[in-house]
């Protein structure tokens, strides 16, 4: 199976992408009835990935839900060939969950959806494209101080994303200049400085595609072209982006004409991404879903050492994911404190613990400012890092539904 496109969109896109995944899974439903709103005000849809004895399949327990907040919970029971799900609307990925290995803890996301037809894309399943329907119209925007604070935070967070996009554009330009000069050491330093800008907002910007291409076509999927790893390549598209350059700089230790072409292509794609993603608008649940999604990235690839297989700068990415997640939380915190002060305080405390742990790995002399994540360090500390992130991820994953249903 060829890998499918990676996340689409912004924090909104992330949340939306998650919704996409959920909606897509709904097509293979065990109960074709509509989900009903719970006491919280959100409808709940379960997506199950499993092997039925002959093939991997996606199963959705409801084929539709009423407009408004919808919480999708994805669980991979036994489908080894399915690792992600996406929710699409008119070929645009509006929500997604990735790295869904069998046996891992279920993950969820909450989106506020308007009435219409959606498609749940389940790559690798025997029924990859599954229809999902949202009925009626979304409720009118709620007023009140809580909603005002949440909306203000979402608007302000968009400015943070724009700042990171500007940093990414400049960082990649510096990387390209270093590669063009043929200086391997300078290129390695520039690589380590550019990566965090993308990792801080990956959940917001990983759903965009090049104009004229489809969401499930890796040849146009900007997240694939910018950030695809060696462990999940699409052979028909080939390797592009940061990690192909990383391979040349660390494994080969040399800059070739091909490396220069990769850097030029990366700069072009990053410029396009920044143009498409600039000034996106976010809903509060987009920020909450994005914050949780970034921590899932840490657990699924950074802690395993899969992200930076050649440079071993995984802790640089780890710290950037945590920072991006915390920023999304911080922009929501004034409203969250009014919704659930105890949960907000718990999350704040867990962020402090994770950041304190990360501080122990700082090394100003190392590329990106953190110790290399060597095989020895991973063997010694991966479990400790994973436990710290999980203690944060558990309460953080509850925020999306709370902000989507807040009065």
Which pLDDT does position 57 carry in this prediction? 94
Per-residue pLDDT in tens (0 to 9) along the chain, 407 residues: 333 333 333 333 333 433 444 444 444 444 458 999 988 889 999 999 999 889 999 989 999 999 999 898 999 999 999 988 887 776 666 677 877 889 888 988 888 889 999 988 898 899 888 899 999 986 665 567 999 999 999 999 999 999 999 999 999 999 999 999 999 999 999 999 999 999 999 999 988 999 998 877 899 999 999 999 987 788 899 999 999 999 999 999 999 999 999 999 999 999 999 999 987 899 999 999 999 999 999 998 899 999 999 999 999 999 999 999 999 999 999 999 999 999 999 999 999 999 999 999 999 999 999 999 999 999 999 999 999 999 999 999 999 999 999 97
- Put simply, whether the predicted model's pTM sits higher than 0.75 gets the answer yes
Which pLDDT does position 143 carry in this prediction? 62
What is the CATH topology of the domain spanning 143-407?
A middle domain of Talin 1 (1.20.1420)
Contact indicator for 134, 67 with CB cutoff of 8 Å: yes
* In the chain, ranges of CATH 2.60.40.420 domains: 11-135
Q: Which CATH architecture has domain 11-135?
A: Sandwich (2.60)
* In the chain, ranges of CATH 1.20.1420.20 domains: 143-407
Q: Write out the DSSP string of 28-82.
A: SBS--SBP-B-TTS-EEEEEEEEE-SSSEEEEES-SEEESEEEEEEEEESS-TT-
Which residues partner with 87 through β-bridges? Answer: 95, 120
């Amino acid at each position: 199976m060829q890998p499918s496109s990676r996340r689409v969109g912004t924090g909104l896109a992330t949340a939306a992408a998650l919704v996409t995944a959920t909606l897509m899974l709904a097509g293979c439903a065990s109960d074709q009835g509509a989900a009903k709103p719970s006491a919280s005000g959100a409808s709940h849809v379960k997506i199950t990935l499993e092997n039925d004895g002959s093939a991997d399949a996606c199963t959705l327990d409801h084929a539709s839900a009423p407009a408004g907040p919808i919480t999708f919970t994805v669980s991979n029971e036994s489908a080894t060939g399915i690792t992600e799900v996406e929710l699409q609307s008119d070929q645009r990925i509006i929500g997604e969950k990735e790295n869904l290995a069998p046996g891992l803890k279920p993950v969820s996301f909450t989106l506020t959806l308007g009435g219409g037809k959606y498609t749940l894309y389940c790559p690798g399943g025997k029924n990859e494209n599954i229809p999902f329907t949202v009925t009626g119209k979304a409720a009118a925007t709620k007023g009140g101080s809580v909603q005002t604070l949440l909306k203000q935070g979402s608007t302000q967070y968009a400015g943070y994303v724009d700042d990171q996009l500007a940093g990414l554009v400049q960082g990649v330009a510096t990387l390209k200049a270093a590669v063009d000069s043929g200086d391997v050491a300078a290129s390695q330093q520039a690589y380590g400085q550019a990566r965090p800008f993308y990792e801080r907002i990956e959940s917001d910007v990983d759903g965009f595609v090049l104009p004229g291409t489809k969401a499930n076509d890796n040849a146009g999927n900007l997240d694939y072209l910018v950030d695809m790893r060696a462990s999940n390549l699409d052979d028909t598209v080939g390797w592009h982006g940061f990690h192909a350059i990383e391979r040349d700089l660390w494994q080969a230790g040399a800059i070739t004409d091909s490396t220069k072409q990769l850097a030029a292509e990366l700069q072009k794609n990053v410029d396009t991404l920044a143009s498409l993603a600039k000034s996106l608008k976010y809903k509060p649940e987009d920020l909450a879903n994005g914050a949780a999604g970034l921590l899932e990235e840490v657990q699924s690839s950074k802690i395993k050492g899969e992200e930076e297989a050649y440079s071993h700068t995984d802790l640089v990415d780890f710290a950037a994911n945590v920072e991006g997640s915390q920023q999304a939380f911080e922009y929501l915190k004034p409203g969250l404190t009014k919704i659930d002060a105890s949960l907000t305080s718990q999350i704040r405390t867990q962020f402090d613990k994770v950041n304190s742990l990360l501080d122990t790995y700082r090394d100003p002399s190392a590329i990106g400012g953190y110790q290399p994540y060597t095989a020895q360090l991973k063997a010694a500390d991966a479990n400790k890092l994973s436990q710290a992130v999980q203690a944060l991820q558990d309460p953080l994953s509850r925020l999306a539904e709370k902000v989507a249903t807040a009065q």
